[in-house]
Amino acid sequence: MNNVTSTKIKFRDLKVRCENCSLKNLCLPRCLDIEGLEKLDRIVKTEKIKSKNRAIFKQGESSGSIFAVKSGSIKTFTTAKNGDEQILGFHLPGELLGLDGLDNMIHSCSASTLEPTSICELPITDLNILCVKMPDLQKQLLNLISNVISSDHDMLLMMAKCDSQQKFARFIISLTKRYIDRGIAPDQYKLIMTKTDIGNYLGVSKETISRLIKKFYEQDVISIKNNLISILNKKKLYEIANI
Protein backbone atom coordinates (compact mmCIF):
# COMPACT_ATOMS: atom_id res chain seq x y z
CA MET A 1 0.00 0.00 0.00
CA ASN A 2 1.11 3.55 -0.65
CA ASN A 3 2.21 5.31 2.55
CA VAL A 4 3.42 8.54 0.98
CA THR A 5 2.89 11.61 3.14
CA SER A 6 -0.06 13.55 1.75
CA THR A 7 1.53 16.98 2.17
CA LYS A 8 2.90 18.13 -1.15
CA ILE A 9 6.26 19.84 -1.32
CA LYS A 10 6.08 23.62 -1.62
CA PHE A 11 9.08 24.82 -3.59
CA ARG A 12 10.87 27.99 -2.65
CA ASP A 13 13.44 29.99 -4.57
CA LEU A 14 16.67 29.38 -2.66
CA LYS A 15 18.84 31.05 -5.31
CA VAL A 16 20.42 27.77 -6.35
CA ARG A 17 23.34 28.29 -8.72
CA CYS A 18 23.57 25.75 -11.55
CA GLU A 19 27.06 27.04 -12.32
CA ASN A 20 28.35 25.88 -8.93
CA CYS A 21 26.48 22.57 -8.82
CA SER A 22 28.69 19.48 -8.87
CA LEU A 23 26.02 17.69 -10.92
CA LYS A 24 25.81 20.17 -13.79
CA ASN A 25 27.51 17.76 -16.23
CA LEU A 26 24.84 15.13 -15.52
CA CYS A 27 21.86 17.45 -15.58
CA LEU A 28 20.37 20.14 -17.83
CA PRO A 29 23.21 22.70 -17.40
CA ARG A 30 25.63 20.47 -19.35
CA CYS A 31 27.15 22.30 -22.37
CA LEU A 32 25.69 25.67 -21.33
CA ASP A 33 27.94 28.72 -21.17
CA ILE A 34 27.93 31.18 -18.27
CA GLU A 35 25.17 33.29 -19.81
CA GLY A 36 23.03 30.20 -20.38
CA LEU A 37 23.57 29.01 -16.83
CA GLU A 38 22.47 32.40 -15.49
CA LYS A 39 19.26 32.25 -17.53
CA LEU A 40 18.52 28.74 -16.28
CA ASP A 41 19.20 29.84 -12.70
CA ARG A 42 16.42 32.43 -12.94
CA ILE A 43 13.68 29.83 -13.42
CA VAL A 44 14.94 27.17 -10.99
CA LYS A 45 13.39 26.79 -7.55
CA THR A 46 14.68 24.33 -4.98
CA GLU A 47 13.53 22.72 -1.78
CA LYS A 48 15.24 20.69 0.92
CA ILE A 49 13.03 17.82 2.07
CA LYS A 50 14.04 16.54 5.49
CA SER A 51 12.11 13.27 5.55
CA LYS A 52 11.44 10.21 3.39
CA ASN A 53 8.08 9.29 1.87
CA ARG A 54 7.27 12.92 1.03
CA ALA A 55 5.33 13.39 -2.22
CA ILE A 56 6.90 15.41 -5.03
CA PHE A 57 3.92 14.88 -7.33
CA LYS A 58 1.07 12.40 -7.52
CA GLN A 59 -0.49 10.23 -10.19
CA GLY A 60 -3.39 12.02 -11.90
CA GLU A 61 -2.27 15.51 -10.83
CA SER A 62 -1.83 18.35 -13.27
CA SER A 63 1.79 18.78 -14.28
CA GLY A 64 3.46 22.15 -14.56
CA SER A 65 7.11 21.32 -13.93
CA ILE A 66 9.86 18.80 -14.32
CA PHE A 67 12.26 18.11 -11.46
CA ALA A 68 15.95 17.39 -10.98
CA VAL A 69 17.35 15.56 -7.98
CA LYS A 70 20.09 17.66 -6.36
CA SER A 71 20.86 15.32 -3.45
CA GLY A 72 19.25 12.25 -1.95
CA SER A 73 17.02 9.91 -3.96
CA ILE A 74 13.44 9.52 -5.16
CA LYS A 75 11.27 6.67 -6.39
CA THR A 76 8.56 6.89 -9.03
CA PHE A 77 5.61 4.51 -8.99
CA THR A 78 2.07 3.89 -10.15
CA THR A 79 -0.82 2.90 -7.91
CA ALA A 80 -3.62 0.60 -9.06
CA LYS A 81 -7.26 1.08 -8.05
CA ASN A 82 -6.85 -1.63 -5.39
CA GLY A 83 -3.91 0.25 -3.88
CA ASP A 84 -1.16 -2.00 -5.23
CA GLU A 85 2.03 -0.09 -5.96
CA GLN A 86 4.40 -0.74 -8.87
CA ILE A 87 7.78 0.96 -8.69
CA LEU A 88 8.94 2.38 -12.03
CA GLY A 89 12.37 3.63 -11.09
CA PHE A 90 14.83 5.06 -8.58
CA HIS A 91 16.23 8.51 -9.27
CA LEU A 92 19.66 9.68 -8.10
CA PRO A 93 21.30 13.13 -8.01
CA GLY A 94 21.49 14.75 -11.43
CA GLU A 95 18.54 12.81 -12.84
CA LEU A 96 15.24 14.25 -14.05
CA LEU A 97 11.72 13.14 -13.19
CA GLY A 98 8.25 14.40 -14.04
CA LEU A 99 8.88 13.93 -17.76
CA ASP A 100 5.69 11.84 -17.88
CA GLY A 101 3.70 15.07 -17.65
CA LEU A 102 5.26 16.80 -20.64
CA ASP A 103 2.72 15.48 -23.15
CA ASN A 104 -0.78 15.95 -21.75
CA MET A 105 0.28 17.88 -18.62
CA ILE A 106 -1.02 15.11 -16.34
CA HIS A 107 1.28 12.94 -14.23
CA SER A 108 0.88 9.25 -15.06
CA CYS A 109 2.83 8.24 -11.94
CA SER A 110 3.76 9.48 -8.47
CA ALA A 111 7.12 10.42 -6.98
CA SER A 112 8.26 10.40 -3.35
CA THR A 113 11.52 10.73 -1.46
CA LEU A 114 13.47 7.68 -0.28
CA GLU A 115 15.54 9.75 2.15
CA PRO A 116 16.19 13.42 2.99
CA THR A 117 16.46 14.99 -0.45
CA SER A 118 17.05 18.29 -2.21
CA ILE A 119 15.24 18.83 -5.48
CA CYS A 120 15.08 21.50 -8.17
CA GLU A 121 11.83 22.48 -9.87
CA LEU A 122 11.84 23.74 -13.47
CA PRO A 123 8.48 25.14 -14.66
CA ILE A 124 7.66 23.68 -18.09
CA THR A 125 6.40 26.96 -19.56
CA ASP A 126 9.58 28.82 -18.61
CA LEU A 127 11.75 25.90 -19.72
CA ASN A 128 10.06 25.80 -23.15
CA ILE A 129 10.75 29.51 -23.63
CA LEU A 130 14.41 29.00 -22.75
CA CYS A 131 14.71 25.99 -25.08
CA VAL A 132 13.53 28.14 -28.00
CA LYS A 133 16.15 30.76 -27.19
CA MET A 134 18.90 28.26 -26.26
CA PRO A 135 19.29 25.34 -28.70
CA ASP A 136 21.98 23.75 -26.51
CA LEU A 137 19.51 23.51 -23.63
CA GLN A 138 16.88 21.97 -25.89
CA LYS A 139 19.42 19.45 -27.18
CA GLN A 140 20.45 18.46 -23.67
CA LEU A 141 16.80 18.04 -22.61
CA LEU A 142 16.18 15.78 -25.63
CA ASN A 143 19.33 13.79 -24.80
CA LEU A 144 18.13 13.24 -21.24
CA ILE A 145 14.67 12.19 -22.44
CA SER A 146 16.33 9.79 -24.89
CA ASN A 147 18.37 8.29 -22.05
CA VAL A 148 15.19 7.72 -20.03
CA ILE A 149 13.52 5.98 -22.98
CA SER A 150 16.59 3.80 -23.55
CA SER A 151 16.66 2.86 -19.87
CA ASP A 152 12.97 1.94 -19.99
CA HIS A 153 13.61 -0.30 -23.00
CA ASP A 154 16.46 -2.05 -21.19
CA MET A 155 14.19 -2.60 -18.20
CA LEU A 156 11.43 -4.13 -20.33
CA LEU A 157 13.92 -6.47 -22.00
CA MET A 158 15.35 -7.53 -18.64
CA MET A 159 11.90 -8.23 -17.20
CA ALA A 160 11.01 -10.37 -20.22
CA LYS A 161 14.24 -12.32 -20.67
CA CYS A 162 16.07 -12.59 -17.33
CA ASP A 163 15.65 -14.84 -14.32
CA SER A 164 15.70 -13.46 -10.78
CA GLN A 165 19.48 -13.88 -10.39
CA GLN A 166 20.20 -12.01 -13.60
CA LYS A 167 17.72 -9.27 -12.73
CA PHE A 168 19.30 -8.64 -9.34
CA ALA A 169 22.85 -8.74 -10.72
CA ARG A 170 21.96 -6.30 -13.49
CA PHE A 171 20.24 -4.02 -11.01
CA ILE A 172 23.40 -3.87 -8.85
CA ILE A 173 25.61 -3.30 -11.92
CA SER A 174 23.39 -0.48 -13.19
CA LEU A 175 23.20 1.16 -9.76
CA THR A 176 26.98 0.91 -9.34
CA LYS A 177 27.61 2.57 -12.72
CA ARG A 178 25.27 5.41 -11.83
CA TYR A 179 27.07 6.03 -8.53
CA ILE A 180 30.43 5.97 -10.32
CA ASP A 181 29.14 8.72 -12.63
CA ARG A 182 28.47 10.74 -9.48
CA GLY A 183 32.00 10.34 -8.14
CA ILE A 184 31.14 7.73 -5.52
CA ALA A 185 33.63 4.88 -5.05
CA PRO A 186 32.39 1.80 -6.93
CA ASP A 187 33.52 -0.70 -4.31
CA GLN A 188 31.11 0.49 -1.61
CA TYR A 189 28.05 2.74 -1.42
CA LYS A 190 24.78 3.11 0.48
CA LEU A 191 21.85 1.01 -0.70
CA ILE A 192 18.90 3.32 -0.09
CA MET A 193 16.19 1.06 -1.48
CA THR A 194 14.55 -1.51 0.78
CA LYS A 195 14.40 -5.19 -0.18
CA THR A 196 10.67 -4.75 -0.67
CA ASP A 197 11.21 -1.84 -3.09
CA ILE A 198 13.93 -3.67 -5.04
CA GLY A 199 11.74 -6.76 -5.30
CA ASN A 200 8.77 -4.69 -6.43
CA TYR A 201 10.89 -2.98 -9.11
CA LEU A 202 12.34 -6.28 -10.39
CA GLY A 203 9.08 -8.20 -10.24
CA VAL A 204 10.12 -10.64 -7.52
CA SER A 205 9.29 -11.01 -3.84
CA LYS A 206 11.11 -9.47 -0.89
CA GLU A 207 12.00 -13.02 0.20
CA THR A 208 13.62 -13.69 -3.19
CA ILE A 209 15.80 -10.59 -2.81
CA SER A 210 16.82 -11.74 0.68
CA ARG A 211 17.78 -15.17 -0.66
CA LEU A 212 19.76 -13.63 -3.53
CA ILE A 213 21.66 -11.31 -1.18
CA LYS A 214 22.57 -14.32 0.96
CA LYS A 215 23.54 -16.40 -2.08
CA PHE A 216 25.67 -13.64 -3.61
CA TYR A 217 27.40 -13.18 -0.25
CA GLU A 218 28.12 -16.90 0.07
CA GLN A 219 29.61 -16.80 -3.43
CA ASP A 220 31.77 -13.78 -2.45
CA VAL A 221 30.09 -11.61 -5.08
CA ILE A 222 28.61 -8.81 -2.93
CA SER A 223 28.20 -7.97 0.73
CA ILE A 224 25.45 -5.83 2.25
CA LYS A 225 25.85 -4.72 5.87
CA ASN A 226 24.09 -1.79 7.54
CA ASN A 227 22.74 -0.70 4.14
CA LEU A 228 26.27 -0.49 2.73
CA ILE A 229 26.83 -2.63 -0.36
CA SER A 230 30.32 -3.80 -1.28
CA ILE A 231 31.18 -5.33 -4.65
CA LEU A 232 33.52 -8.22 -3.84
CA ASN A 233 33.86 -9.85 -7.27
CA LYS A 234 32.95 -7.67 -10.24
CA LYS A 235 33.80 -10.36 -12.80
CA LYS A 236 31.52 -12.91 -11.16
CA LEU A 237 28.73 -10.33 -10.88
CA TYR A 238 28.89 -9.71 -14.63
CA GLU A 239 28.91 -13.45 -15.30
CA ILE A 240 25.73 -13.90 -13.28
CA ALA A 241 24.15 -10.95 -15.10
CA ASN A 242 25.16 -12.53 -18.44
CA ILE A 243 26.45 -9.27 -19.85
**84 plus 199 within the same structural domain:** no
Q: 166 and 144, same structural domain?
A: no
pLDDT given for residue 226 in this prediction: 86
Q: Which of 125, 113, 4 is nearest to 51 (CA)?
A: 113
CATH value at residue 124: 2.60.120.10
Residue 157 lies in a domain: no
- Residue-level pLDDT at 194: 94
What pLDDT is stored for residue 168 in this prediction? 96
Give the helix/strand (H/E) hosting 47.
Answer: strand 45-49
Specify if 154 maps to a domain.
no
Residue finishing a domain among 117, 148, 179: 148
Based on the domain organization, do 99 and 14 belong to the same domain? yes
- Are residues 173 and 127 located together in one domain of the fold? no
125 and 230 share a domain? no
> Are 200 and 87 found together in one domain?
no
Whether residues 87 and 37 share a domain: the answer is yes
**For the chain (length 243 residues), average pLDDT per consecutive 10?**
51 56 72 83 89 93 92 95 93 91 88 95 91 89 87 84 94 91 79 94 96 96 92 95 89
The domain tally of the chain equals 2
Task: Tell whether 236 and 122 lie within a shared domain.
Answer: no
CATH number of the domain where residue 191 is located: 1.10.10.10
Please check whether residue 155 lies inside any domain of the structure. no
| Residue 47 and residue 69 in one domain | yes
Residues 187 and 117 in one domain: no
Q: Give Cβ neighbours of residue 185 (< 8 Å, ≥ 6 apart).
A: none
What 8-state DSSP symbol labels residue 184? -
**Residue 33: inside a domain:** yes
The residue out of 90, 118, 148 marking a domain boundary is 148
Structure confidence at residue 14 (pLDDT): 45
Q: Are residues 22 and 141 in the same domain?
A: yes
Q: Give the ranges where the chain is alpha helix by DSSP (H).
A: 34-43, 124-133, 135-161, 164-181, 195-202, 206-218, 234-241
In a domain, 122, yes or no: yes
pTM of the entire structure?
Answer: 0.85
Q: Is residue 136 in some structural domain? A: yes
> For residue 150, what pLDDT is reported?
86
> Nearest CA to 203 among 172, 146, 162?
162
- Which of 170, 38, 44, 157 is closest to 96 using CA atoms? 44
Q: Does residue 156 belong to any structural domain of this protein?
A: no
106 in the same domain as 34: yes
Its domain, for residue 66, covers 5-148
In the listed set 121, 148, 175, which residue is the last one of a domain according to the structure?
148
